[in-house]
Amino acid sequence: MIDAKILVIDDNKSVLSALEILLQFEFKSVNTISNPNQISSYPNFQELDIILLDMNFSAGVNTGNEGLYWLREIKKKAAHVSVIMMTAYGAVELAVEALKEGASDFILKPWSNERLITTVTSAYNLRKAQSEVKKLKQKENNLKQVINHTKGDIIGTSKALNAVMNLVAKVAKTNVYILITGENGTGKELIARELHKLSPRSNEVFIPVDMGSISESLFESELFGHVKGSFTDAKGDRIGKFEAANGGTLFLDEIGNLSLQTQAKLLSAIQNKEIVRVGSNQPIPVDIRLLCATNCNLDAMVLDGLFREDLLYRINTISVEVPPLREREGDILTLTNFFLKKFSLKYGKPQLRINQKAEQKLNSYKWPGNIRELLHSVERAVILSEENILTPDDFLLNVNSSLSLNSGPDTLEEMEKLMIANALSKNNGNYSAAAEQLGISRQTLYNKLKKESN
């Protein structure tokens, strides 16, 4: 038995009785009314699935206008209900008019019992499918909103930041590929999210990909997907980031970390606007807006043979350079107060404030780690604070380039962070050069930075 609630509306009581007897063996709930004026007072009207509605209620009238009127009234009360029109006077024009007004189907009297049950069942299945699609669409939209708003707004009013935001506003509404450059910790992903938010694709998904965390062996699977059995752990089909971002924005962070081989594969996908899953030969078209980011000097890497010039041209239609925090006059204290409020609430210290000398110390510091370093400094100060006023001593900064017993870090972990910050500062945020100076691989450096940011 089908779990459907059906209402039959007809002024002929014999018709009502016949339909009630016929339908009650197939459907969970069948009710009848003989006067359409009862529609407005019918209980639980919104819970109905199907309504069988006669087209003529007045004696001697067979125009169908009464039925069309009540059809419109029903749709006003419950647009989701499937309405099947019934009449003894079949006419193509009348059927077409009823369908235009929102009817699901049309039945002629006298009817075939088998055909009537099939028509009602089909109308119920269609309504149920439409309801599921609506729910899935709502879930999809909710998920997109969650994904697109996982990061905060861009904080600051400095001249340097305003110049960037003005450029972002100009280019966001286009579909051109954009390269976002800047030192580590300057907020390049926030700029990418702002570009997406201001774009015509803002209602679609924003997919960020950390290229530095993807090994070369998994590059194609992560970006392009794979089919079942294409490699040992491929236990099912899986879409890649390109397909996931279809219709929306794909953000490739730290693109300077790609090898030449993976650069060639990425270039092919961008040029052809299609991808092929690992283990498949079937090309899949994709429609994405591509945003890339790096703290490397890609022009220098091209000259050194480390980055493809044709790929650089493809991803760099417009370049947006995010200024380091030290060049954003006035924004250091704005961000400090923002983070202070955030962490004060998080750690249950709502009365916490910062004094003027501490503000002067933060404002005069060069912030080689930029916003990320400031965020961690404020959070650490809030966690360790014992008074309601934060003083300069609560902020442990690398004020001097050399380490000393008095001003240096207290732990090996802090010393490592300090050395990494110094190396990045001396090499203008270039990962490769900083890693070489520290005597570690670029991937190791990247992993250490990721650990710090978590």
| pLDDT tens digits for range 314-349 | 999 999 999 999 999 999 999 999 999 999 999 999
- 141 in any annotated domain: no
Give the C-alpha distances (Å, rounded to integers) separating 39 from 42, 45, 47, 52, 89: 5, 8, 13, 12, 23
Name every residue whose Cβ is closer than 8 Å to that of residue 236 and which is 6 or more positions away in sequence. Answer: 228
Domain boundary among the residues 321, 337, 365 is at 321
Tens digits of per-residue pLDDT, 280-319?
999 999 999 999 999 999 999 999 999 999 999 999 999 9
CA 5/CA 114 separation, integer angstroms: 19
Q: What is the pLDDT at residue 401?
A: 38
Q: Are residues 314 and 332 in the same domain?
A: no
Q: What is the pLDDT at residue 87?
A: 78
Comparing 26-30, 200-204, 404-408, the range with the smallest average pLDDT is: 404-408
- pLDDT level of residue 6 (50, 70, 90 thresholds): very high
Tokens of 15: 């018709």
Q: What is the pLDDT at residue 229?
A: 85
Residue 25 has pLDDT above 80, yes or no: yes
Give the chain's domain count: 3
- 146 in any annotated domain: no
CA 245/CA 240 separation, integer angstroms: 9
Which residues lie across from 181 on neighbouring strands? 294, 321
Q: What is the pLDDT at residue 88?
A: 74
Q: What is the pLDDT at residue 212?
A: 85
Tens digits of per-residue pLDDT, 346-372?
999 989 999 999 999 999 999 999 999
Comparing 94-98, 145-149, 168-172, the range with the smallest average pLDDT is: 145-149
Residue 447 has pLDDT above 90, yes or no: no
Q: Are residues 111 and 167 in the same domain?
A: no
Q: Which long-range contacts (CB under 8 A, 24 or more apart) does 201-205 make?
A: 201/247, 201/248, 201/249, 201/289, 202/148, 203/141, 203/144, 204/144, 204/247, 204/248, 204/249, 205/143, 205/144, 205/147, 205/148, 205/244, 205/245, 205/247, 205/248, 205/249
CA 334/CA 91 separation, integer angstroms: 73
Q: What is the pLDDT at residue 328?
A: 94
- 414 in any annotated domain: yes
Mean pLDDT estimate for the chain: 86
11: helix, strand or coil:
coil
Q: Are residues 340 and 317 in the same domain?
A: no
CA 21/CA 13 separation, integer angstroms: 12
Residue 403 has pLDDT above 50, yes or no: no
Specify the CATH number for the domain of residue 63: 3.40.50.2300
Mean pLDDT calculated for residue range 372-386: 92
Mean pLDDT calculated for residue range 157-162: 95
Mean pLDDT calculated for residue range 159-176: 95
Q: Are residues 91 and 172 in the same domain?
A: no
User: 238 in the Ramachandran plot: left (φ > 0), alpha (ψ -120 to 50) or beta?
Assistant: beta
- pLDDT level of residue 234 (50, 70, 90 thresholds): confident
Tell me which residue of 15, 14, 26 sits closest to 6, measured CA to CA.
26
Residues 249/288, Cβ–Cβ less than 8 Å: yes
Question: Residue 91: enclosing H or E segment and its boundaries?
Answer: none
Q: Are residues 224 and 348 in the same domain?
A: no
Residues 226/278, Cβ–Cβ less than 8 Å: yes
Residues 398/369, Cβ–Cβ less than 8 Å: no
- 447 in any annotated domain: yes
- pLDDT level of residue 102 (50, 70, 90 thresholds): confident
- 376 in any annotated domain: yes
Domain boundary among the residues 134, 168, 186 is at 134
Name every residue whose Cβ is closer than 8 Å to that of residue 139 and which is 6 or more positions away in sequence. Answer: none
- 140 in any annotated domain: no
* pLDDT > 90: percent of the chain: 54
Q: Are residues 115 and 250 in the same domain?
A: no
Domain boundary among the residues 321, 337, 364 is at 321
Mean pLDDT calculated for residue range 48-62: 80
- pLDDT level of residue 274 (50, 70, 90 thresholds): very high
Q: Are residues 182 and 309 in the same domain?
A: yes
Q: Which long-range contacts (CB under 8 A, 24 or more apart) does 15-18 make?
A: 15/54, 15/86, 15/109
Residue 429 has pLDDT above 80, yes or no: no
- pLDDT level of residue 404 (50, 70, 90 thresholds): very low
CA atoms within 13 Å, Cβ hemisphere of 218: 14
Q: What is the pLDDT at residue 406?
A: 41
**CB environment 344-356: b (16+ within 10 A), e (fewer):** beeeeeeebebee
Mean pLDDT calculated for residue range 436-449: 79
Q: Which amino acid does the sequence have at 229?
A: G
Q: What is the pLDDT at residue 57?
A: 79
Q: Are residues 380 and 332 in the same domain?
A: yes
Q: What is the pLDDT at residue 221?
A: 92
- 365 in any annotated domain: yes
Q: Are residues 168 and 76 in the same domain?
A: no
Q: What is the pLDDT at residue 164?
A: 96
Dihedral of alpha carbons 305, 311, 314, 318, sign: negative
Radius of gyration of the chain (CA): 33
Domain that holds residue 202: 159-321
Q: Are residues 67 and 170 in the same domain?
A: no
- 142 in any annotated domain: no
Mean pLDDT calculated for residue range 255-282: 93
Peptide bond into 36 cis (omega under 30): no
- pLDDT level of residue 60 (50, 70, 90 thresholds): low
Q: Are residues 309 and 229 in the same domain?
A: yes
Q: Are residues 273 and 389 in the same domain?
A: no
CA 229/CA 244 separation, integer angstroms: 21
